[in-house]
């Protein structure tokens, strides 16, 4: 559920306004009265995630512990309180009225507890599901184009929804995408909003947050980046890693030591080339890649079964 493959760059920041609930009087006691924490699911650069359940109805949950020193991005509400931007963003997403599939892609925040030395998030835990990297590994290290396109279309639509809500995830990658496997077709869920922020369309950012090997070229050359073009670059990386048995590295790709497999279909190759346009001003928008033939030429005939029948999130 929570893994880190590479480093991040980060710095404390604050964005926007959002009203939230009052802090709990005894947050640790309230958490322990409501939830049971079980085995660890994983550990990354920002914190640890544990399996657990809600006592009242045995609902399976994921419990994320984030030490205060690892809360890189913060947010101030209308009363001036400093909050984790992860909490603020997830509450904002849950306050929307849309019932579309794309609006339901982000994992739901069920509860949050501010303790003296850490923040505890209680999150929805889809079952059965696995992160996209594990999902690919169980299928031999790459996906068929037909399956990758099903995942890609949902990802693009989820990214457009985040953009409409003025939210920039900043770290869309295999490890931050869950594949829910309760039916024959994989359902995409987005996790880990710890580096996200509120943003305006076309606003430039001058401090990089995210995975170092996924840095967009505009940051490498001009030390600035914006939400839309960066997200398009990251979606290209996700598709690349779905279809190639190798990890993507922006610097290596720019130096042409990593190349797109020429055996891919014309649509997939063109989609990747457009996402990897070096100049962000020439790179297509999320709306434009949503109309591209690649995510829209879907085949639902492939047999999609959870390999090994695992119900655990790794």
Binding residues: 41-49, 64, 124, 131
As annotated, the binding site for ATP includes 41-49, 64, 124, 131
Nearest to 231 by CA among 194, 206, 202, 254: 202
Which value, in Å, is the radius of gyration of the alpha carbons in the chain?
Answer: 19
State the Cα–Cα distance between residues 244 and 247, nearest whole angstrom: 8
Q: Which of 171, 192, 270, 279 is catalytic?
A: 171
State the Cα–Cα distance between residues 62 and 122, nearest whole angstrom: 6
Q: How far is CA 186 from the centre of its chain?
A: 16
Q: Where are the beta strands (DSSP E) in the chain?
A: 8-9, 35-43, 48-54, 60-67, 74-76, 82-84, 109-114, 118-124, 129-131, 167-168, 177-180, 187-190, 197-198, 204-205, 210-211, 225-226
Q: Where are the beta strands (DSSP E) in 44-151?
A: 48-54, 60-67, 74-76, 82-84, 109-114, 118-124, 129-131
Q: Is 171 assigned a catalytic role?
A: yes
- Supply angle C-alpha 144, 42, 192, rounded to 5: 70
Catalytic residues: 171
């Amino acid at each position: 559920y929570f893994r880190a493959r590479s480093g991040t760059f980060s710095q404390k920041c604050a964005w926007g306004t959002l009203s939230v609930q009052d802090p709990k009087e005894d947050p640790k006691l309230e958490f322990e009265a409501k939830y049971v924490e079980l085995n660890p699911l994983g550990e990354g650069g920002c914190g640890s995630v544990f399996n657990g359940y809600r006592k009242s109805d045995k609902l399976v949950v994921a419990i994320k512990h984030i030490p205060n020193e690892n809360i890189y991005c913060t947010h101030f509400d209308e009363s001036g309180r400093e909050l984790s931007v992860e909490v603020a963003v997830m509450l904002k997403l849950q306050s929307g009225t849309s019932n579309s599939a794309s609006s339901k892609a982000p994992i739901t925040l069920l509860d949050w507890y501010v303790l003296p030395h850490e923040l505890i998030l209680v999150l929805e835990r889809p079952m059965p599901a696995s992160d996209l990297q594990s999902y690919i590994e169980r299928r031999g290290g790459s996906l068929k184009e037909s399956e990758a396109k099903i995942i890609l279309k949902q990802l693009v639509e989820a990214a457009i929804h985040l953009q409409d809500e003025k939210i920039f995830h900043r770290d869309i990658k295999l490890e931050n995408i869950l594949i829910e496997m309760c039916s024959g077709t994989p359902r995409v869920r987005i996790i880990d909003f710890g580096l996200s922020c509120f943003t305006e369309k076309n606003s430039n950012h001058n401090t990089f947050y995210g995975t170092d090997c996924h840095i967009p070229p505009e940051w490498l050359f001009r030390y600035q980046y914006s939400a839309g073009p960066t997200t398009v670059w990251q979606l290209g990386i996700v598709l690349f890693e779905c279809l190639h048995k190798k990890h993507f590295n922006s610097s290596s790709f720019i130096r042409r030591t990593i190349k797109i497999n020429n055996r891919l279909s014309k649509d997939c190759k063109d989609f990747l080339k457009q996402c990897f346009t070096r100049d962000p001003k020439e790179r297509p928008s999320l709306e434009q890649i949503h109309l591209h033939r690649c995510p829209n030429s879907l085949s639902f005939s492939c047999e999609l079964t959870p390999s090994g029948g695992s119900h655990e999130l790794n």
